[in-house]
Amino acid sequence: RDMPLGENQGSSSRKDAIKGVLETVGKCFGPFHFTYGFRELALYALCLGAGSLDPTDSGDLKFIYEGSSAFSALPTFATLPGLAVMGAIPAIPWPSTLHGEHMLVLDKPLKVSDSLVTTATVLNVYDKVSGAVVVLETRTSNSSGDKVAINRSSLFLKGLGGFGGPSGPPSSLPPSLAALPDFSLRQPTPKNLALLYRLSSGDLNPIHVDPEAAQRIQYPRPILHGICTLGVAVRAIIRLVCANDPNRLRSVRCRFSRHVFPGETLVTQVWIDREGKTEIPKKIKPEKTTEAVERGLDEGKKAEAENKQKRGVGEGEEG
Supply the DSSP symbol for 262.
Answer: T
At 34 the three-state DSSP class reads: strand
To the query of whether residue 203 is one of the catalytic residues in this protein, the response is: yes
To the query of whether residue 259 is one of the catalytic residues in this protein, the response is: no
Best CA proximity match to 280, nearest among 318, 319, 252: 252
Tell me the Cα Rg of the chain. 19
* 102, 208, 225, 259: the active-site residue: 208
Can you say how many angstroms the Cα of residue 31 is from the centroid of all Cα atoms in its chain?
21
**What stretch of H or E contains 307?**
helix 304-310
Examine residue 31 and say whether the peptide bond preceding it is cis (omega within 30 degrees of 0).
yes
Type of residue numbered 193? L
* 131, 203, 238, 296: the active-site residue: 203
**What stretch of H or E contains 11?**
helix 11-22
* 161, 226, 231, 300: the active-site residue: 226
* 18, 223, 227, 284: the active-site residue: 223
CB under 8 Å to 77, separation ≥6 — which residues?
36, 40, 41, 44, 110
- For 120-179, the DSSP string reads EEEEEEEE-SSEEEEEEEEEEE-TTS-EEEEEEEEEEEET---SS----PPP-PPPPP-S
- Asked whether 283 and 234 are in contact (CB, 8 A), the reply is no
Active-site positions read 203, 208, 223, 226
